[in-house]
Structure 1
Amino acid sequence: ITPRAQRRLIREVTKDPRTTSKELQASLASIKVSVHDSTIRKRLGKNGLHGRFPRHKPLLSKKNIRARLNFAKKHLNDCQDFWENTLWTDETKLNYNNFAKMSGPKFLQSAVKDSLQVIANA
């Protein structure tokens, strides 16, 4: 792959991060450069542009939608201060899989203890 083609790859990916390696391969084919898609991924990885999955926003369930609608109808005539102090669930930071609880000396100690028992039994 030529340095010019590599610069083109980096420019296209920084402009649109959701571009696939197959689309980049077709783009390079338009300038008469034939490269395998795994080579494209390797070159982008060397330049710090690794593939990532976009984070999915949690969807509201039908139950939550109904509850929010009922709440809004119930408090329809409340003052503006009430609505400014209302915090909706999609405005909060959600902690998935309790990552905050996992870090700390409690988990480190038990992990070390388990590994020492395995070594002692060996």
Structure 2
Amino acid sequence: ITDWKLQKEGGAWNHCSSSVNHGYLRAVIIALYKKGFTGKDIAASKIASKSTIYRIIKNFKESGSIVVKKASGRPRKSSKRQDRLLKLIQLRDRGTTSTELAQEWQQAGVRASARTLRRRLLEDGLVSRRAAKKPLFSRKNIRDRLIFCKRYRDWTAEDWGKVIFSDESPFRLFGASGKKLVRRRQGGRYHQSCVMPTVKHPETIHVWGCFSTKGMGSLTILPKNTAMNKDGTNTSSESNFSQPSRNSLVTNNAFSSMMEHLAIRQN
């Protein structure tokens, strides 16, 4: 016992990590116990506290090993059935926030934080993401797109080569249409340099363009706060292209209809 005590008090013991120290200590205590030393005898050497020595000996008697079993940890707040219920609540309305879900889950008998709730959803692969934007189609929109596709599904590449595709995009002259990120300190939300100025009716210009198999047409900038109508589209397209005829023109509405329907079919 004295030899092991000297090893502990020397430098070699202190240079070891905590887990190695504890493992070595258990091995020493059990080795002494196997040699016939009692817990009281081992405790007299003061290599460890009396309670630690008796606990190690007790665990060895019960398991027959000096290896400490991994603790099971705190029990889960929810059962598998309650986890399935949480998933169904989320899938019923995917836009529900974690706080709102926690309140509904609490009605089912589960008192858990929003953080725990997010971990449960993550286990099932449900990750929070920004919703994708997609045009809202009415029954008439869907029907018109189907009619368009069926009408032109047999067209060849040569037929489509006679078509001019056109579209336009709006651009605001003041302010951004999307979100803007700024870096600010706490309490500086409404500081002049941290806000994005807005106006109720910002001036907008529309830029119109077209293309075909023969190439791209030049961009046409429309007057402020005006948009291209069907007649205007035909006039602008004829000024940019000289080869295709008026009858071969597909307007921006028809083109967007076709492309949106193709996106639906692909999904």
Please, what TM-score do these two structures have when normalized by structure 1?
Answer: 0.54
Question: Paired residue for 1:96?
Answer: none
Partner of 1:118: none
Q: Partners of 1:17 and 1:86 in 2: how far apart?
A: 37
**2:130 partner SS:** coil
Question: Offset of 1:30 from its aligned partner?
Answer: 1.2
Q: Residue in 2 aligned with 1:14?
A: 91
Pairing partner for 1:72 from 209, 222, 230: 230
Partner residue, 1:37: 114
Query: Where does residue 205 of structure 2 map in the other structure?
Result: 63
Distance 1:13 1:26, change over 3 A: same
Q: Find the residue that maps to 1:67 and give its secondary structure.
A: coil
Pairs aligned (count): 85
Query: Which SS does the other structure have where 1:63 is aligned?
Result: strand
Cα drift, residue 73 of structure 1: 5.4
Q: Deviation of residue 56 (structure 1)? A: 4.5
**2:37 maps to which residue?**
none
Shift of 1:74: 3.7
* Structure 1: stretches of 5+ with no match in the other structure: 94-122
Structure 2: which amino acid aligns with 1:86? T
Query: CA 1:49 to 1:82, structure 2 compared with 1: closer, same or farther past 3 Å?
Result: same
Q: Which amino acid aligns with 2:227?
A: A
User: Kindly tell me: are residues 53 and 39 of structure 1, through their superposed partners in 2, closer, same or farther at Cα, counting changes over 3 Å?
Assistant: same
Q: Select which of 111, 122, 128 maps to 1:51.
A: 128
Structure 1 letter corresponding to 2:226: R
Structure showing greater radius of gyration is 2
Alpha-carbon distance between aligned partners in 2 of 1:20 and 1:48, rounded to the nearest angstrom: 16
Query: Please, what is the CA RMSD of the aligned residues?
Result: 3.3
Q: List per-residue Cα deviations over 1:53-104 (Å, max 9, x = no partner).
A: 11346x9543236223xx335469xxxx678x2134x9368xxxxxxxxxxx
SS in 1 for 2:111: coil
Separation (CA, whole Å) in 1 of partners of 2:233 and 2:133: 31
Given candidates 236, 247, 251, the residue that maps to 1:86 is 251
CA contact (8 A) 2:83 2:120 kept: yes
Judging by fraction of residues, say which structure has more strand.
2
Specify whether residues 55 and 30 from structure 1 end up closer, same or farther in structure 2 by C-alpha distance, changes over 3 A only: same
